Amino acid sequence: MTDYPTPDIADVNLVDVLRAAGDPIRLQIIRALADGRPHPKAMTEWGVDIQKSTMAHHFKTLREAGVTRTIVSGRTHEIQLRRDELDARFPGLIEALLRD
């Protein structure tokens, strides 16, 4: 069940995705989510040392741009890259973002 609003993939535009991915922290989050599986929001492997509220802002920005979805199950919140949907809408985009 997704309790956080996520735009329909048909409404996601490339400019918003690139703007969201243009921040180094958000790009690092995308790379951590590249396997397409849900990851706990509290995951310590995000690889960034920032405040929880700042991290929440980055998660929200990615979600609102249509890059991720937040899955809520009870008190657990997980973040998932919408990889399959993004690959279908913008072929090659995620692979390009994952390159160094």
Residue 60 placed within a domain: yes
pLDDT of residue 3 exceeding 70, the answer is no
pLDDT in tens, 58-93: 999 999 999 999 999 888 899 999 999 999 999 999
What are the CA-CA distances from residue 37 to residues 14, 29, 43 (Å)? 22, 13, 13
Q: Read off the pTM.
A: 0.90
Q: How many domains does the chain have?
A: 1
Locate the DSSP E strands across the chain: 39-40, 68-73, 76-81
pLDDT in tens, 37-57: 999 988 677 777 888 889 899
Residue 1 placed within a domain: no
The DSSP code for 39 is E
- Which residues span the domain enclosing 25? 9-98
